[in-house]
Amino acid sequence: MAMNLTRRKFLQSASLAAAAVPLSRVAPVQASLVKGQFAAPGSFAQTKTVTGGVCEMCFWRCQLVGKVRDNRLVKLEGNPKSIENGKSICARGNAGIQLLYDPDRLKYPLKNVGKRGAPKWKRISWEEALDESAERLQAIQKKYGPHSVALFPHGASAFYPLQYFEFTGTPNISEASFYQCRGVRDMAYMSTFGFPPGENVDMANAKAILLIGSHLGENVHVSHLKQYLKGLENGAKLIVLDPRFSAAASKADIWVAIKPGTDTAFLQAVMTRLITTGRYDKEFVAKSCTGFSELKESLTHATPEWAATICDVPKEQILEVADLLGVSLPNVSVHPGRHTTWYGTDFQRVRAQACLSAILGAYAVPGGMIRPKGMKLGTKSWGHGVFAEDCDLSTFWPFHPPGTPTDAIREATLTGKPYPIKAWVAWGQNPIQTIPDQARTIEALQKVDFVLVTDVMPMDITMYADILLPEKSYLERYDYVKTGMQWNPADKPQQFVAARMPLVEPMFERKDSVWIINELAKRMGYADKIPVKSIEEHVDIRLAEAKLSIAALKKMDGIYLQDGKSPYAPAGQRAFEFETDSGLVELYSEQTADNNFSGTPNYIATEEVPAGFARLLYGRSPVHSFSRTQNNRWLHHEMPENPLWVNDQVAGKMGLKNGDRVMLVNQDGAKSRNSTVVKVTPGIRKDAVYLAHGFGSMNPELSIGNGQGIDDQALITKFGIDPETGTTGMRTNFVKIIKDGRILEMPV
């Protein structure tokens, strides 16, 4: 039996531009992307505070207020009424002003009259842009079927377009947040607990916190970090499994410098130790779990000695970790992570994390995994599309997240099998930097008949657009409604609702996603199916379920608060019902076994590092949101490029020192387009090097971010496809360092 989920059901269950030819040769600069200085600062009249902002510099979406002077935003701050982030926002949140007024921003609809990848832009009207887009999409769908269109969405503004394209009949929708980030995590937890975990672990009240390859402190999700740091302040012991001395590892009581790709073996050995010593939550396992005997039997080989050899860590460290978790149960935060697509064997690893949480009884208790509930919101959508028979590319992967595996879309585009995909639509996603094997993505973009891109900034993907549409930024539009809950054992839990509202009026000819899609739909023959007339109506319909409206929220400083219900179970309750087939936590999953996968978490070895190479690891930066912020003047000043972490002993043997400028070449001969500096450190294993992801943009229309640092995605030419989910594991590439034009062998 496959886990067949729609995107909407899934989300409900979670609760929750130019190259060789300058633009000026096609149209005056001011008529296209408008390079130039910021607007004059004005008269410095009294500053007013505007409430209702919700950040989109990352997906965490902190609540904001804006300081506005002469109709110009001059400062962003956290909304003091927020029970999530309060007055706090991160560096990226502060730098939203630089996105808003970036002179490189897209300002008008543009048509490419040159080549994809080396475009010549012509400014056109919205009518021309929408007429041509509708005409070309309709022609493609009429000739090849509705499923001949693929959509790559990202961010809150892509929600309405996603619904529309699904309604028109395409299942080919691939979100990087699912297929290159968290999808495998969510599906693994659903097969174990029956629900996706989000990041809902009660770290503030934990006795022990286990982080597995986490980037806490480097992704800077403000309220999440506050919970984490509160837990450490309250005395929680921190365990970090990471081949790199990350920000989290720097605060750890136990840092396990684990060999990449061996985390499942480590977790298996920890569970073996807990079971053999009797340090597991016997009552929770007996009352709320099924498959314990099968799990125990599957672990007979997984001794600490076995795992120590595989993981390249001391056996004593495995025992220390297991015993610390055992004495801390059930008040343990086994963090589920977020970016979990690593090696193409990730479903099994994350299943092991979920099973570890279960045998520790770390559910619905202080410190454990919890399910805080926000207020219920209304909905009005395009409705479900009708897909043609045999047009779902995702059926090969029975536990795939909502949508279609990215690589399946790309292969169908390139081969025409099992059916042709002839149009790509990107909405706020940069597939060139999200999908592995960059050259193959570009090949697919060159092959399709039509490419439509909507974005805020010129990105790598916008260079391949036929029609390029400028969108309002999150500071200029309505769209997202956030609901959630905050709790503290000493206080009443509170629920909140915050709707994104514009802090300033939009400039130039930028539009919101509802207006764009409605106008496109009219031209494609769906005028009578349009569910809402405006983005404001869409937001008000969502708020109406909570007896709220935009007008009402404006009077409440942008946030509505009410009492909530504790996420903890009553004291002593150890029996629970879960949304699995059995109604219990499934330590052994018949669903996975029925689909010919291991019913219990299974360690699968990752390819060893070839001689002369190091494994390429990548991760997050605290001052950047991947490629989206590379052109941000303030953030670029703080981190203009992504240093290459190299182990100090390895660097010494290679003659490398801090600040040396280097390039990289991978196992397939792919070379980095740009260079970066070396960071020599003992804080990384000898068999790996590390880069922050999202640098090295190739778009020359980015006057600040273009060509800065190394694009790790250009070096990820091979990847693992997780057999259960179809998600793409990308820590499967190996590199050598190039210095002064000479390729250096890694002495590992």
Bridge partners of residue 450, in order along the sequence: 423
Residue ending a domain, among 338, 356, 372, is 372
Residue 386 has what pLDDT?
79
- Look over the chain and give the mean of its residue pLDDT values, rounded to a whole number: 93
CATH label of the domain that carries residue 207: 3.40.228.10
If pLDDT is split at 50, 70 and 90, which confidence band does 11 have? very low
Q: Calculate mean pLDDT across residues 177-192.
A: 97
pLDDT in tens, 237-272: 999 999 999 999 999 999 999 999 999 999 999 999
- Is residue 97 over pLDDT 90? yes
Q: Report CA dihedral (106, 107, 112, 116) to the nearest 10 degrees.
A: 0
Q: How many Å apart are CA 272 and CA 294, to the nearest integer?
A: 13
- Is residue 735 over pLDDT 60? yes
Cα 218 to Cα 404, 623, 627, distances in angstroms: 29, 8, 15
Evaluate whether 263 touches 212 at the Cβ level (below 8 Å).
yes
Residue 732 is assigned to a structural domain of this protein = yes
Q: Which token pair is 129?
A: 């842009």
pLDDT in tens, 528-576: 999 999 999 999 999 999 999 999 999 999 999 999 999 999 999 999 9
Q: Which token pair is 511?
A: 């539009």
Residue 390 has what pLDDT?
79
Q: Which token pair is 562?
A: 């009410």
Backbone angles phi, psi at 352, to 5 degrees: -65, -40
Task: Please report the DSSP string for 458-518 in residue order.
Answer: --TGGGG-SEEEEB--TTS----EEEEEEEETTEEEEEEEEE---SS---TT-B-HHHHHH
CATH label of the domain that carries residue 653: 2.40.40.20
Bridge partners of residue 423, in order along the sequence: 149, 450
Q: Calculate mean pLDDT across residues 125-138.
A: 98
Bridge partners of residue 677, in order along the sequence: 661
Q: Calculate mean pLDDT across residues 728-746.
A: 97
In the chain, the amino acid numbered 304 is P
Q: How many Å apart are CA 87 and CA 66, to the nearest integer?
A: 12
State the total domains in the chain.
2
Residue 93 is assigned to a structural domain of this protein = no
Domain range for 200 is 182-372
pLDDT in tens, 311-353: 999 999 999 999 999 999 999 999 999 999 999 999 999 999 9
Residue 3 has what pLDDT?
55
* Cα angle value 417/346/316 (rounded, 5°): 160
Q: At what angle do helices 315-328 and 263-276 cross, to 10 degrees?
A: 60
Evaluate whether 289 touches 587 at the Cβ level (below 8 Å).
yes
Residue 364 is assigned to a structural domain of this protein = yes
pLDDT in tens, 32-69: 343 433 444 555 458 999 999 999 999 999 999 999 99
- Is residue 517 over pLDDT 50? yes
Residue ending a domain, among 351, 372, 393, is 372
If pLDDT is split at 50, 70 and 90, which confidence band does 384 have? confident
Q: Calculate mean pLDDT across residues 466-481.
A: 97
Q: Calculate mean pLDDT across residues 150-169.
A: 96
Residue 538 is assigned to a structural domain of this protein = no
Q: How many Å apart are CA 652 and CA 313, to the nearest integer?
A: 23
Residue 215 has what pLDDT?
86
Q: How many Å apart are CA 508 and CA 518, to the nearest integer?
A: 20
* Cα angle value 527/531/536 (rounded, 5°): 115
Task: Give the count of beta carbons closer than 10 Å to the beta carbon of residue 297.
Answer: 11
Residue 501 has what pLDDT?
97
* Cα angle value 211/212/213 (rounded, 5°): 115
Residue 404 is assigned to a structural domain of this protein = no
Task: Please report the DSSP string for 169-196 in residue order.
Answer: T---B--HHIIIIIHHHHHHHHTTTSS-
Q: Which distant-in-sequence residues (6+ apart) come within 8 Å of 252 by Cβ?
A: 238, 239, 240
Which DSSP category does 400 fall into? P
If pLDDT is split at 50, 70 and 90, which confidence band does 207 have? very high
Q: Which token pair is 676?
A: 């970066």
- Stronger pLDDT, 442 or 33, i.e. the higher one: 442
Q: Calculate mean pLDDT across residues 602-621.
A: 97
Residue 581 is assigned to a structural domain of this protein = no
Is omega for the bond preceding 418 within 30 degrees of 0, making it cis?
yes
Bridge partners of residue 561, in order along the sequence: 496
Q: Which token pair is 207?
A: 């006795």
- Is residue 145 over pLDDT 90? yes
pLDDT in tens, 575-590: 999 999 999 999 999 9
Residue 682 has what pLDDT?
98
Query: Could you tell me what percentage of the chain is helix, strand and coil, using 3-state DSSP and rounding each to the nearest 5?
Result: 30, 20, 50
Residue ending a domain, among 327, 351, 372, is 372
pLDDT in tens, 637-668: 999 999 999 999 999 999 999 999 999 999 99
Cα 348 to Cα 46, 343, 353, 399, 604, distances in angstroms: 58, 11, 9, 12, 8
Q: Which token pair is 740?
A: 């002064």
Residue 523 is assigned to a structural domain of this protein = no
Residue 314 is assigned to a structural domain of this protein = yes
Q: Calculate mean pLDDT across residues 442-446.
A: 98
Q: Calculate mean pLDDT across residues 163-183.
A: 96
Evaluate whether 222 touches 199 at the Cβ level (below 8 Å).
no
If pLDDT is split at 50, 70 and 90, which confidence band does 95 have? very high
